Amino acid sequence: MVAIPAYSATPPPLAIGVVQGSGERSPHDGERVTVEGMVTADLRAGLGGVFVQDAGDGDATTSDGLFVRMGPEPAARQGQWLRITGTVQEQAAGKSDNSLTTLQADKVVAIAARPAPAVTVLQDVPASWEALEGMQVRIAMPLTLAGQDGLQRYGELTAAFGGRLWQPSELAVAGSAEHAAVVADNARRGLHLDDGSSKRNPDSVAYLPEGAVLRAGMQLQGVEGVVDQRFDDGYRLQLTRPLQLPALERPQPPQVAGGLRIAAFNLENYFNGNGRGGGFPTLRGAKTQEQLLAQQAKLVATIGSLGADVAALMELENDGYGPDSAIAQLVRALNAAADGGDWQFVDAGKGPGDNPIRVGIIYRASRITPLGKPAVLEREPFGERSRVPLAQAFRMGRKGKPFVVVANHFKSKGCSDATGADADQNDGQGCWNATRVESARLLNQWLQGDPTGSGSRDAVLLGDFNAYAMEDPIRRLQADGWQDAFKVAGVVQPYSYVYNGQTGRLDHALLNPGMAARLKGAAEWHINADEADDVGYPGRNLPGPWRSSDHDPLLLGFDDP
């Protein structure tokens, strides 16, 4: 009699829940086991395996589903029952300590069909996703689409139970207990919706209809899939049914009270080549003349629809003020799009600053009159880091009360070259926070000296401060007496930017007391932050202002006494 090697022997079947165990890791890690279960999702083409589930072991703390790595043979269609023997392994979830309990199959045979395991219906966030790892779930309540940053590259969406996910430092001071609570709440409520594939830049996403247009904030009904944990950014559902999408609703241009309207808008790198149809690709922005014209059409549709009298602009190409400059071309396009267009730009002579991008100010000459010359603050950290601010005094007509508009663009949060106090302090404010705080301090100090020489006590700071509402730079300006226009106007939960599935404001309007007393209304036009990247000019280029930038424009209305 020939002895059978131990490896060839088939262990008796165990319930999947016994293999999974009630902890983060399987109690059978490294052991060879046998399980029997029904295929709930065949993801061999995308993830190299299938999910199986059995009828359960009667223990609510253990999962009844399991991911099985196996090749194309034998065939394993969804709904089929299999007996699988293999080695239990913990598949690391990225760089975290989490892992996906996995069975590396070495023997798979089909068995007689049994009643299908029940799909777990979730009425809210489950107490433990770990207890559902590998199982089929259906979410009874609508999920909020929180972000779609990963859709084009990974076929992945970020969703949330109970509304949007907020940038923690939009709602709470960095490092505070309240900030930590928002971080924890985001982790608890967030859920990734995935396409069952690791393929990058997929041509299509199986759970979405062709040509679907999504917006963050929309409600997703009847979400169903298999619970997975293979990356370090939390749990996800590998969707097994197409999403039920609501009718697409997009916002109309904002309306604010008051006779004077002031806007701010980050153009997301408006570079125009040599200004004569050539010079592409440029350092940033459009790569061809055709792309530039598509980008320009979206920007004109946005600015023209705001109805502003003055607009502070960010991320203009810093290429002078001649007829071939980016700002001159944009103003010509605005005027060509409107009968009797009367837009003009503030000419600072040079710059401001020598950064590749700059701020600018445009205004309607039939309604607004500049007072004196523009002023700039060319002192570090403005220049190499934060973009040089531009201030211009105006009045409406010839008799209106003077006011000063200051266009701003503080240093971004990216960590390239950041050291010392500017390195990431792991407090949620990103890199270069110290530079942004110093920028805020110098900006306030500069404005106390009336740099425009207008004598006006009314001023508004506008632009992309690259800081969320409760971060140090904004709090510093508020401590110096500058008031958040959206709080003054009573706007609830304003936002202008969605990043990594979290919503917040990088774009602000801050008023000194004189300008705050004149404020009649404040609004954002959510045409960009909620839209997918590919709606913009480099992608599908859907007609209209949609995704004209990655930032939403804002609009303020003031009395003109």
pLDDT digits (tens, 9 = 90+) for 32-78: 999 999 999 999 999 999 999 999 999 999 999 999 999 887 778 89
CA neighbor of 132 nearest in space, from 152, 146, 118: 118
Q: Where in the chain is the domain with CATH 2.40.50.140?
A: 16-118
Work out the average pLDDT over 3-13.
67
CB 97 within 8 A of CB 69: no
Looking at domain 16-118, its CATH class is mainly beta
CA neighbor of 148 nearest in space, from 550, 450, 553, 558: 550
CA neighbor of 292 nearest in space, from 548, 553, 537: 537
Q: Which residue has the tokens 């982790």?
A: 187
pLDDT at 75: 77
pLDDT digits (tens, 9 = 90+) for 287-302: 999 999 999 999 999 9
3-state SS, residue 434: helix
Q: Where in the chain is the domain with CATH 3.60.10.10?
A: 260-558
**How far is residue 461 CA from its own chain's centroid?**
24
- List the Cα angle 285/293/317 in 5-degree steps: 35
Q: Predicted confidence band at 377 (pLDDT cuts at 50, 70, 90)?
A: very high
CATH H-level superfamily of 260-558 = Endonuclease/exonuclease/phosphatase (3.60.10.10)
CB 9 within 8 A of CB 31: no
Q: Predicted confidence band at 5 (pLDDT cuts at 50, 70, 90)?
A: very low
Strand partners, 92: 99
Q: Residue 4 above 50 pLDDT? A: no
Q: Residue 511 above 50 pLDDT? A: yes
Q: Predicted confidence band at 544 (pLDDT cuts at 50, 70, 90)?
A: very high
3-state SS, residue 80: coil
Examine residue 402 and say whether the peptide bond preceding it is cis (omega within 30 degrees of 0): no
Strand partners, 108: 84
User: Which pTM value belongs to this model?
Assistant: 0.94
Question: Which secondary structure element, helix H or strand E, spans residue 519, and what is its range?
Answer: strand 519-524
pLDDT digits (tens, 9 = 90+) for 204-234: 999 999 999 999 999 999 899 999 999 888 8
pLDDT at 93: 81
How far from 412 is each of 239, 433, 453, 503, CA to CA, in Å?
36, 9, 30, 17
Whole-angstrom distance, CA of residue 154 vs CA of residue 151: 6
In one-letter notation, the amino acid at residue 366 is: S
Task: Provide the Cα torsion 533, 535, 541, 543; round to 10°.
Answer: -140
| Strand pairing report for 190-194 and 157-160 | antiparallel
Whole-angstrom distance, CA of residue 494 vs CA of residue 329: 32
Contact residues for 455 (Cβ-Cβ < 8 A; gap 6+): 402
